[in-house]
């Protein structure tokens, strides 16, 4: 396929280009052809972008810290094909529910590569985790210690655990996705950590391996992560003197942001890895503690920019001197982030990508909520009914948080690579909507 040579914005998949037809292409697949073949709304994932991000994370962290493991936070996007891709690149998998664990099992993820998180794990979820032999259970609270002890004792199993600690760091991100500040449902407070470690040391079926921290999501600067390392290791130094325990593993969670807009600047993986490992090295030398294994859990920064969503333009409503609405055939059910977080996105008309963005419009969905707005007051090419709109950076948390609101079916998801497209998630149909309904 002939291409027009032009530099593409940073918020698009790595393989993005423009064809001789002046259409957007991803991995040599014409977006207009994809929309015709698979229908819209359509989630499109670029395999090369996913793999390149996985490789870059592994390379950069292991370059600076040889005992480092990269674990994909599957809550960003969990389905069988995606987990197969990231594990084939050597990453572990972070799961937070029985459903995510089951998906990992279906993807044949090695159990020792699975980290099981969650602030309110049920007894049945813990049983499933122990039966599968997951590598680490990240313990979040005292009740979970008691529950896990009972289940492990009954099953005669020893469990490797990390303790999740709330570092008291408030990352600069939306309050709904801050998880490390003092007022949080997640983790043990620093003040009780020594007592918790001592308690775990007295339980034969629990093997204390280390600590886990996670301060939030879509964080656009590294300072909060560096402060977290210093804070958690200062805390650990005091705990170590009191308990004589060693910190074999330090899991720093995930959370670095991506560019949703072409004008944004997010931390680059190589700089993030360098700064994290440099701070860790400095701090362990200062405190004279053994170097722990380093674990990092990226999600959005692996999958986010690999995804785009294709929509078909329908109604165009122009209210003079007020607003021009361009309505598409999806919206808040396939992307709830704008109505939930006020998240911002970038888009183009895929079949008019080289035309000037002279129209100021609001991209509206077709759901029965006035707040069903994907992008507000946005410069776009002149839209007409039947055009294909491409919204960028939709790989993370769109499918994961999608719904059947208004009894809409969920879109299909396709994986594109080297000019070929493969369905990795079937489009739902009306029968799927009523499959679990029981009539009177």
Give the tokens for residue 27.
């991995």
Q: Kindly state the DSSP code that residue 399 receives in the 8-state scheme.
A: S
Distance, in Å, from the CA atom of 253 to the CA atom of 434, rounded to the nearest integer, reads 38
CA distance 210 to 104: 23
Neighbours of 419 (CB within 10 A): 12
Name 403's Cβ contacts closer than 8 Å, sequence gap at least 6.
333, 336
Q: Residue 378's closest CA among 426, 338, 435, 424? A: 338
Predicted local distance difference test score (pLDDT) of residue 182: 60
- The upper half-sphere exposure of residue 244, i.e. CA atoms within 13 Å in the direction of its Cβ, equals 2
34 within 8 A of 421, measured Cβ to Cβ: yes
Burial class (CB in 10 A: 0-12, 13-18, 19+), 245: middle
Which residues, including other chains, have CB under 8 Å from residue 229's CB and lie 6 or more apart? 252, 276, 279, 280, 283
Let me know: does 207 contact 249? Beta carbons within 8 Å. Answer: no
Measuring CA to CA, how many Å separate 348 from each of 19, 214, 265, 351?
15, 34, 20, 9
3-state secondary structure of 24: strand
* Residues assigned a catalytic role: 368
User: Do the beta carbons of residue 245 and residue 208 sit within 8 Å?
Assistant: yes
Distance (Å, rounded) from C-alpha 224 to C-alpha 396?
22
In order of 152, 161, 163, 338, the CA distances from 144 in angstroms are 12, 11, 11, 34
Q: Two tokens at 19?
A: 């064809």
Non-local CB neighbours of 244 within 8 Å, separated by 6+ positions: none
Distances (CA, A) of 405 to 92, 306, 318, 334, 361: 33, 25, 26, 9, 25
Please state the φ and ψ torsions of residue 153, each to the nearest 5 degrees.
Answer: -65, -45
DSSP 7: P
Predicted confidence pLDDT, tens digits, the chain (440 residues):
666 667 789 999 999 999 999 999 999 999 999 999 999 999 999 999 999 999 999 999 999 999 999 999 999 999 999 999 999 999 999 999 999 999 999 999 999 999 999 999 999 999 999 999 999 999 999 999 999 999 999 999 999 999 999 987 775 543 433 444 566 788 899 899 999 999 999 999 999 999 999 988 889 888 889 999 999 999 999 999 999 999 999 999 998 999 999 999 899 999 999 999 999 999 999 999 999 999 999 999 999 999 999 999 999 999 999 999 999 999 999 999 999 989 999 999 999 999 999 999 999 999 999 999 999 999 999 999 999 999 999 999 999 999 999 999 999 999 999 999 999 999 999 999 999 999 99
Rounded to whole angstroms, the Cα distance separating 387 from 225 reads 43
Measured CA to CA, the distance from residue 231 to residue 145 in angstroms comes to 24
Name the β-bridge partners of 414: 44, 423
> What's the whole-model pTM score?
0.95
- 370 burial type by CB count under 10 A (0-12 exposed, 13-18 middle, 19+ buried): exposed
Q: What is the pLDDT of residue 167?
A: 86
For the record, the structure tokens of 374 come out as 């994907």
Inter-residue contact 324 to 360 (CB < 8 Å): yes
């Amino acid at each position: 396929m002939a291409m027009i040579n032009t530099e593409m914005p940073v918020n698009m998949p790595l393989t993005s280009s423009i064809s001789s037809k002046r259409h957007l292409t991803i991995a040599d697949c014409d977006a207009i052809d994809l929309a015709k073949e698979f229908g819209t709304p359509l989630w499109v994932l670029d395999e090369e972008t996913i793999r390149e991000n996985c490789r870059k994370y592994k390379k950069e962290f292991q370059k600076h810290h040889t005992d480092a493991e990269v674990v994909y936070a599957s809550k960003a996007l969990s389905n069988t094909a995606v987990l197969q891709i990231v594990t084939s690149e050597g990453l572990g998998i972070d799961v937070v529910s029985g459903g995510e664990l089951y998906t990992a099992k279906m993807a044949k993820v090695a159990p020792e590569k699975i980290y099981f998180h969650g602030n309110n794990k049920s007894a049945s979820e813990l049983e499933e985790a122990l039966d599968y032999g997951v590598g680490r259970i990240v313990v979040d609270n005292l009740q979970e210690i008691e529950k896990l002890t009972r289940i492990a004792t009954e099953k005669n199993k020893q469990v490797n655990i990390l303790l999740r600690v709330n570092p008291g760091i408030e990352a600069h991100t939306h309050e709904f996705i801050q998880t490390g500040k003092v007022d949080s449902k997640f983790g043990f407070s620093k003040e009780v950590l020594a007592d918790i470690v001592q308690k775990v040391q007295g339980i034969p079926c629990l093997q204390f391996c280390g600590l886990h921290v996670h301060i939030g999501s879509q964080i656009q600067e590294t300072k909060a992560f560096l402060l977290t390392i210093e804070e958690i290791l200062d805390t650990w130094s005091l705990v170590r003197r009191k308990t004589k325990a060693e910190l074999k593993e330090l899991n720093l969670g995930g959370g670095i942001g991506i560019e949703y807009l072409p004008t944004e600047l997010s931390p680059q993986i190589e700089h993030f890895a360098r700064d994290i490992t440099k701070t860790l090295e400095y701090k362990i030398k200062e405190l004279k503690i053994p170097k722990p294994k380093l674990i990092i859990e990226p999600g959005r920064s692996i999958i986010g920019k690999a995804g785009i969503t294709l929509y078909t333009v329908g109604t165009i409503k122009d209210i003079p001197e007020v607003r021009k609405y361009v309505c598409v055939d999806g919206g808040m059910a396939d992307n709830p982030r704008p109505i939930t977080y006020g998240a911002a996105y970038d888009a183009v008309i895929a079949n008019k990508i080289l035309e000037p963005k002279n129209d100021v419009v609001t991209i509206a969905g077709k759901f029965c909520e006035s707040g069903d707005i994907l992008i507000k007051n946005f410069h776009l090419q002149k839209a007409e009914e039947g055009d294909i709109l491409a919204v960028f950076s939709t790989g993370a948390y769109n499918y994961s948080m999608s719904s059947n609101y208004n009894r809409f079916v969920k879109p299909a998801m396709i994986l594109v690579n080297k000019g070929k497209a493969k369905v990795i998630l079937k489009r739902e149909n009306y029968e799927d909507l009523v499959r679990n309904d029981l009539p009177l």
